[in-house]
Chain A
Amino acid sequence: MNITQLMHSRARIVPSLPTASFSVKAGFWRWQRLLPLLLVLALLLPLGVLLLYALQFDLERWTHMWNTFLPRALGNTLTLIVGVGVGTGLLGTGFAWLLTAYEFPGRAWFDRLMLLPLAIPGFIMGFVYVTIFEYAGPVQTALRGWFGWQRGDYWFPNIASPAGLILVLTLVLFPYVYMLARTAFREQLASSIEAARVMGYNRLHTFFRLVLPLAYPQIAAGIILAMLEAMTDYGTVSYFSYPTLSERIVVLWNTEFDPGTATQLALLMMVVALCLITLARRVRGHARFYQHGGQGRHMSRQALRGWARTGAVLACLTLFGASFVLPVSQLLLWAVGELQKPTVGILGESIITYSTNSVVLAGISALIVVFLSLLIVYGLRATAVHRNRGNRRLARMVTLGYAMPGAVVAAGVLVVVNPIDAAVTDFATAFLGWVSPAYLLTGTVIALIYAYVVRFMAVGFNSTDASLEKISPSMEGAARTMGAGTWRILRQIHAPLVSTGLATGVILVFVDVMKELPATLLLRPFGMDTLALRTYFLSVEGWHRSAAIPALMILIIGLIPVFILMRVGDNPIGKHRHTPE
C-alpha cells in the first residue's frame, strides 16, 4: 500500500451517504428552501443591477482604454495577485507547518502572534513601509549620512515599487493562509501521519505527499482570499500610485463619471476572480475528505535541535517583526510625537466617536453576515445534502461581492436603495412618527451595512460552509435514524461543531469592515466617519504623525477579536470530536 492509496482509503473511510430522503412536513421544507433563496437574491441584487450599466457598452471608450491604460492596469493586477498569491501561500503554509509540526522555543507564542497582522489595514502597512524605506525615509537618509552617498551611488530596494507593494500586501494577508492551513494541519489525525511515517516517509515527504494534499482545500481557500483582497484593494494601490483594475474602476467612477465603463471593468475583474476560484476548485477536484469522528489525536511535534532550532526562531522573529513589530513601533513613535503637540484637542475628542462608529459598523455587519450565512447554508443542507447542485451554485454566488471593489458594491447598493428610500422614509414618517431630513436607508447606517454585508458575505459564508462541510453527513444520518428532529440535531450536533467556524466568521468580517475604505467613503451617513477613513485622509495629506493615532486605534480594536480568534484556534474545531487521551 503506497501513500496515495492511503489517501484514497482515507477518503473512503466515510463514504458519501446516498442522499437520504427524510420525510418531514412539507410546509417546513418549503419555508426553509424559500428563505435562503430570497436572502441570496437580496444579496445579489446590488451586483445584479450593475448589469444594467454594463449594457451601455461604449466601443469607442473601450478602444481608447485598450489603447491607453487597460493593458497595463490588467498587467499590474495580474502581477499583484500572482505575487500576493505566491507570497501568502509560501509564508502562510510554510509557517503553519513549521509551527504545527515542530517544537522550538517560543513556538506556542509565535503560533498566536502570526495572526496579529490581520488587524493592520494594507494601506497603513503601506504608508508605514514607504515612509520608513523610501529615499527620503529615515533608513536611506541615515545610510547616506553615514557613507556620504549621493543619489545613484548606491543600490537600495525600491519600496515604492510593485515588489514593495506585493511585500506589503503579503505581510498583511499571509495570516489568512496561515490560519486556514494551521487549522487544516491540526485537524489531520496523527494516525494517518504516523502510518505514513511507519512506511518510511520522513516529515518532509509526509508533508508534500500526504499533509499538503489533504490540507489543499483550506490552503487554496486562504490563498484565494488573499488574492481577492489584493485584487479589490484600493487604499494601498492608490497610496503606491500603482494603477490596477480596482484603482481604475474607482477613477472611472469618481473622476471620469463613467459608471457604465467602470461597471464593465468591474465585471472583467469578476471574470478574473471567477477564473481564479474555478482554477483552485479544478485542482482540488471533486474529492471531499471527511474527518471521521472518534479517537483521533493530534500529531506530535518534533523537537528541533541545533541550527534548525535557531533558524526556526529567527524565521519566526523576522516575519513577526516585519509584519507587526516594525509597523506598530513606527506608529507608536509617531503617535507619541503627535500627542506632545498642543493642538491635539479636536482630533482627540473625535477619536472616541470614530472608534465607536467603526466598532458598531463592524460588529453589526459581522453578526448579520454570519447569521445570514447560517440561514443560507442550513437551508441548503436541509433541502438536500449534496443533491441540489443548482441551489448550491446559486448560494455560492453570494460570495461574488468579495470579488468586487468596495466602490462598485456601494454603487450597486445605491442603485437598489435609492428608489425605495423615499417610500421607506415616508412610511416611517407616517407610521412611526419619525420626521427627519435624512432618508431612512441612505441617511443612516442601513445602506452602508447592506453594502458591507454584500461585500464581505464570502468571508462569513465560507467559514460557516466550511465548518458545516466538515461534519460528515453520516453524523446527521445517525442522529436522524435515532429519531432526533431537525432542531435537536441543530442544537446538539451542529451548534457545538460549528460554533468555532461561526466565531471565526464573525471575527474575520469584523476585522475586514474595520479596515474597509471605498464603500464607507461613498455610503456613510453624516457623522459616521470611521477610523479607517480618518487614517486614510490624514495619511494622504502626508500627516503620518496624526494618522498614527486612528491607525493605532484600528489596531487596538482589531486585535481584540484577533485575540479571541487565537483562543478559538487553541480549541480547534475538533474539540468535541477528538477526545483527549
Chain B
Amino acid sequence: MQRFCTYLMIMVVLAVLSLTPALAQSDDAGVLNVYSSRHYGEMEAPFVAFTEATGIDVRVSAGSPQDLLGRLRADIQRGNRSIADVFLAIDAGVLSLAAEEGLLMPIESEVLNANVDESFRDPEGRWFGLSVRTRTAVYNPANVTEEELAQLNDYSDLANPTWQGRLCMRPASHIYTISLFSSLLYHLGEEEAAAVTQGIVSNVTRYINSDTSLIQAVAAGECDLTLVNHYYMGRLANGSPEDQAVFNSVAIRWMNQDSNGVFFNVNGAGIVKDAANYDNAVKFLEYMSAVENQCGSSTCFPGSNYELPTNPEAELNETVISFGEFVLDLDYPLWEYGAYQQAAVTMLEDAGFGFTEN
C-alpha cells in the first residue's frame, strides 16, 4: 500500500508537469497549429525550414484526413473555433467536404492565386493544393507479357479476367482507394463503374493496407499488378539497397494516357474557420506554394516526397522525371471529388471490395 502511494505521488507530479505545457498554450504570434494527414515521419523538413525562415513555430497533429475532418467538425459545429489554424489533407475530396461544410474560410491572397495553378485549387479559394500525387499501376515485368501490357491502358482494364488472382489492392477503407474509384464513377457512370469494380474485386488476390507493401508484393511476385501512389516508387528508388532492388524489379504503367489522363490527388491546405493565427496560416500557405519551396529537392514541399509541384513555375523532381512523361486527368475537377466519394464507398461496399474469400 505504501509503495502504491509512492507511485501515486510520482504520477500526480508527472501529471501536473504534463499539463503545464498544455495550459501554457497562448495566443503567441509565433505559433501555427496544423491538422495534418501528411505524417511521413522524417519528411517534415519543409516545416522545419518554414520555422527557420519565419520564426513561426509549427505544431502538427497528425491523423488520417477523415479523422481530422471529424475532429474539425467536432471542434467547429458546436459553434466555437477549432484550435487548428491549418487543415492539411492528402485528399481533395476531404478538403472540398470541409469547405462545403463551412469548416474552412476563403483565403484572400494574390500571392497564393498566382502561385497555385487553377486546376489544383478550390475555385472559391478555400483550399490550395501544395503538391500533386498520381495513383497508377505498378507491375512486375517478369510476370506480365507484352500482350497483357498492351491491354493494360485504363483503370477499367484491371477488371480484365487476365488478372484473376494476380491483383493486389489497397482496401476500400483507405481514402486512396475511395478517391480513385470515385473517378471511375465520374468517367464511366454508375452502371459501368459498378461492373468494373465487380471485375476488379474478383481479380484481387490480396488486400494490403500499405502502398509500400503492395509494391514489395509485386516485386516478390506474390501478385503481378497493383495500384499505388507514384511517390512510393520514388521513395524506393532512393532508399536502401533492398528498396532499390524492389524498385528495379517492378515498372510503372501510366494509366488512362489515351483517355482522360492518370488519376491524381493533391496534398492541399485550407485555413480553418476563425483561425486564431490566420496571418501565420496565410504565410504558411504562401511559403509552401512559393516557387523556391515547390522545387523537386528534398527541402521543398513536393520534392521531399517525390510529388509534383502545384506551382507551374517550379521544377520537377529528378526521380519523377525518370518515371517518364504522363498526362494528368484534369477532366475530373478536384473540387468534385467530395461529391462522388460517398457514392464510391457504396459502390465498393456493394462489390464486396476489401473482403477476401477464404
Contact = CB atoms under 8 A, between A and B. Distances in A.
Contacts of A131: 213
Interface in B18-57: 18-19, 21-23, 25-27, 33, 39-42, 44-45, 48
B4 A526 contact: no
B178 interface: yes
A446 to B, nearest CB: 8
Given A359-B14, A526-B61, A541-B41, A418 B74 contact: yes
13 contacts: A64-B346, A65-B349, A134-B217, A241-B206, A363-B14, A437-B83, A437-B276, A499-B3, A526-B33, A527-B61, A528-B61, A537-B39, A540-B209
Contacts of B60: 526
B349 A69 contact: yes
Interface of B: 1, 3-4, 7-8, 11-12, 14-15, 17-19, 21-23, 25-27, 33, 39-42, 44-45, 48, 59-64, 66-67, 70-71, 74-75, 78, 80-81, 83-84, 171, 173, 175, 178, 206-213, 216-217, 219-222, 232, 240, 276, 342, 345-346, 349-350, 352, 354-356, 358
Contacts of B14: 359-360, 363-364
A444 B42 contact: no
A251 B178 CA distance: 12
Interface stretch (A37-45, A51-59, A253-261, A301-309): A253-261
A534 B48 CA distance: 19
B352 A521 contact: no
A436 B173 contact: no
**Contact size range, A:** 35 or more
Contacts of B59: 526-527
Interface in A511-542: 521-522, 524-529, 533, 537-542
A141 interface: yes
Given A136-B222, A241-B209, A522-B70, 14 more contacts: A131-B213, A241-B208, A250-B173, A255-B66, A343-B42, A367-B11, A437-B81, A444-B22, A506-B7, A521-B67, A528-B61, A537-B39, A537-B62, A538-B41
A250 B172 CA distance: 13
B44 A238 contact: no
Contact of B349 (A68, A435, A438, A524): A68
A352 to B, nearest CB: 13
Contacts of A435: 26-27
Given A64-B349, A241-B356, A521-B63, A134 B221 contact: no
A548 to B, nearest CB: 12
Given A437-B83, A526-B33, A546 B209 contact: no
Contact of B27 (A437, A442, A533): A437
A94 interface: no
Contact of A239 (B63, B209, B342, B358): B209
A245 interface: no
B220 A141 contact: yes
A482 interface: no
Contacts, number: 193
Nearest to B232: A542
Given A238-B173, A541-B212, A522 B71 contact: yes
A495 B18 contact: no
Given A68-B352, A418-B78, A540-B209, A255 B345 contact: yes
Nearest to A536: B39
B354 A445 contact: no
B1 A499 contact: yes
A527 B36 CA distance: 12
A526 B78 contact: no
Contacts of B220: 135-136, 140-141
A437 B25 CA distance: 7
B74 A503 contact: no
Given A255-B173, A542-B232, A360 B15 contact: yes
A414 interface: yes
A419 interface: yes
Contact of B80 (A141, A150, A439, A521): A439
A161 interface: yes
